[in-house]
Structure 1
């Protein structure tokens, strides 16, 4: 299937991490110019260098942090300076909460829950606001937001979960409403589609150790899936790739679950 991504410019946030890395690599393999947004940390240099190579060498790295509006503008400006356009936005970056043991109470969480709640929704909204005029001008664009199955499944007390996951789920649920509404307003001005991909618990190169210390969450989640296993990040990336492609002409304003049926 021809995806029509060759020569398109794609912004992927959180692209030095597990899910984002696979997403950016998938776009690069289709001939897209990939702008890799990443939070500046010492270990990111090696990851982003490898990612540029994996994306066929046609990739640009730029610092980006949720809750840092200046970096959102800089990320878009970097893309415009490089290729003069932004065709696709993938909002993948997120601020995570750590695992918690069973029995902890969400109202006792003090791990900057207000800041993380705001950043996990406001960061995606800010970037969407910045790229929307560019997509309207060209009459074409694709926006894909990465969410979480916590929105629909909830945080199960028997499965432990993450510290503050209730607040993370609230932010992601808001993202669903935002994407649904912007699909209507953007769709009036061209072939501009907005969707949400909802991964379940997914294997990435960065979270293997965390899942091993997650009080059996990964095993119980896999047991609930018809496939009997967790998906890996590359499998979720292929869902994102299609929704963000020219081959997708019919799906917009939707939340697509990619969890292996769990």
Structure 2
């Protein structure tokens, strides 16, 4: 039976909590819903291989679970959250699919390009690339953003995407797809997330341009723009008062759960969206992207 979308998941005020970066699922209250008990696959991605960055938790984990239940093997790329990554791998394997867990920093060009080669070595092909990992931090004043912080945000969110896409298209066959994770911040930037918001605008633009560049190769490129989604990134990068009220500024009056984005990524990865490329799919709880 369908539920009222405002009441389907936890609403603010969220429990008071803070974490150190990069944040861990086990310490998040309430625990996010990644579709562990709800997502049902129907072989939309049977026989495919997907590489997902930031797949240890949050949106990445939800996408990994959904892709596996749709029949795809999954390369799980993550920074350092070993316990979270192992949990994602367990759900992928429970779906009867192969899980390849790879720890490392995608902002490093050698590692990022090596991820693609690892996918080819372990699984023999690469059909779907999901650039999902991101770095963000909150700053109240422009002067507080150091050059090093600006650099790590761009290297993680933009440079890594470039490295991975450039390496992936060498191996992708017609019908393959690239899905980038942008944000509502691409067009409605939060002032205190200036560096992050700037990269998310760049991701949207990169997606549109790359889609035209690789169309002749038969590779589709799209992006998903989430609104406020309940993941470990939130209490590890935002002040306590913003965590408490997170998501209340949407028409649905709550943060989204990672599971609520999974079907969009599946659609963009599958043949059901074969005429869709260069698109930015908004999943924002009703907040318009201006």
Q: 1:173 — aligned with what?
A: 201
Cα deviation digits, residues 212-252 of structure 1 (max 9, x gap): 84423663x63332222221011112211211112211221
> Unpaired runs of 5+ in structure 1?
none
C-alpha distance in 1, partners of 2:125/2:113?
14
Structure 2 length as normaliser, TM-score? 0.77
1:145 is matched with which residue: 174, 180, 191? Answer: 180
Give 1:35-184 correspondences, 5 Å limit.
35-39=75-79, 41=80, 44-55=81-92, 56=95, 57-97=97-137, 99-100=138-139, 104-110=140-146, 112-135=149-172, 138-156=173-191, 161=192, 165-184=193-212
2:252 is matched with which residue: 211, 223, 227? Answer: 227
Residue aligned with 1:231, SS: coil
- In structure 2, relative to structure 1, the CA distance for the partners of 1:95 and 1:213 (3 Å cut) is closer
C-alpha distance in 2, partners of 1:45/1:217?
24
Residue aligned with 2:270, SS: coil
> Unpaired runs of 5+ in structure 2?
1-40
C-alpha distance in 2, partners of 1:238/1:91?
16
Contact 1:26 1:237 in 2 (8 A): yes
Structure 1 length as normaliser, TM-score? 0.85
Residue aligned with 2:221, SS: strand
Contact 1:19 1:233 in 2 (8 A): yes
C-alpha distance in 2, partners of 1:235/1:76?
27
C-alpha distance in 2, partners of 1:9/1:119?
23
Residue aligned with 1:145, SS: strand
Contact 2:57 2:85 in 1 (8 A): no
Residue aligned with 1:24, SS: helix
What is the number of equivalent residue pairs in this alignment?
Answer: 243
Q: 1:253 — aligned with what?
A: 278
C-alpha distance in 1, partners of 2:157/2:175?
26
Q: 1:202 — aligned with what?
A: 229
C-alpha distance in 1, partners of 2:197/2:234?
22
Q: 2:11 — aligned with what?
A: none
Residue aligned with 1:15, SS: coil
State the 1:107 CA deviation: 3.1
State the 1:96 CA deviation: 2.0
Give 1:232-247 correspondences, 5 Å limit.
232-247=257-272
Contact 1:69 1:123 in 2 (8 A): yes
Moved more, 51-60 or 11-20: 51-60
- In structure 2, relative to structure 1, the CA distance for the partners of 1:217 and 1:46 (3 Å cut) is closer
Cα deviation digits, residues 107-156 of structure 1 (max 9, x gap): 33226223322332111011000111212xx2121110001211111225
